[in-house]
Amino acid sequence: MSRHALLAGSTGLIGSLLLRQLLDDPRYDRVTALSRRELPLQHERLHVLLTDFDDLDRRRDMLGADDVFCALGTTMARAGSRSAFEQVDHGMVLALAHAARRAGARQFVLVSAAGSSATSPSFYSRTKARVESDLRALGYPGLHILRPSLLLGDRRESRPMEQLAQRLSPALGWLARGPMARYAPVQAATVATAMRVIALRDQAGTHVYEAPFPA
């Protein structure tokens, strides 16, 4: 049975990889990418919805997907302030989730972060925990939350911690074993694949995934 995917964050590291996977998967006959700018990609099954995420309720007729994939995210350094960071990592995520659920979406698949906790001393981690909690209240039949640690891959923007993880990853193999596995650096392609695999399982309920991720 064919499916409709709705993807936010398609220009980022994970989102760009996931977009190509979805377009290569014949089980998705339609892929709608929400973006604030045009995408450098054309495909017969790709539909780009240009939006700044504050008009989604008015465009609800375009959001009725089977699977909603959210790879939205920024950093405190890039955002420039706590409020600007929160607008992306909480405000835009919730705007998408609300509008898509009202349009009939059945599953929501989110990239969160390792260490997400409401009691964390880190504002970043507390924000991730809050968006996870708020998503649980929306009544999605299937809610899937992935919590990767530092991401490995070719990213356009500079993120010093991830660049450091790239260089150190051969020496950090021990992190991938035992109780610390959830904090091991992970390839962005691995997370993108896990998002697609998880959605295609059509598993009801709320599920949290930490490394190692489904493949």
User: Does the pTM of the predicted model rise above 0.85?
Assistant: yes
List the domains of the chain with CATH numbers: 3-210 (3.40.50.720)
The C-alpha atoms of residue 202 and residue 17 are separated, in whole angstroms, by 21
Q: What is the pLDDT of residues 141-182, one digit of tens each?
A: 999 999 999 999 885 555 565 555 455 555 555 555 666 778
Q: Which spans in the chain are helix H?
A: 13-24, 76-79, 82-86, 93-102, 123-136, 160-168, 188-201
Is residue 190 within 8 Å of 129, Cβ to Cβ? no
What pLDDT is stored for residue 57 in this prediction? Answer: 87
Q: What is the pLDDT of residues 22-64, one digit of tens each?
A: 999 999 999 999 999 899 899 999 999 999 999 998 888 889 8
Q: What is the pLDDT of residues 83-130, one digit of tens each?
A: 999 999 999 999 999 999 999 999 999 999 999 999 999 999 999 999
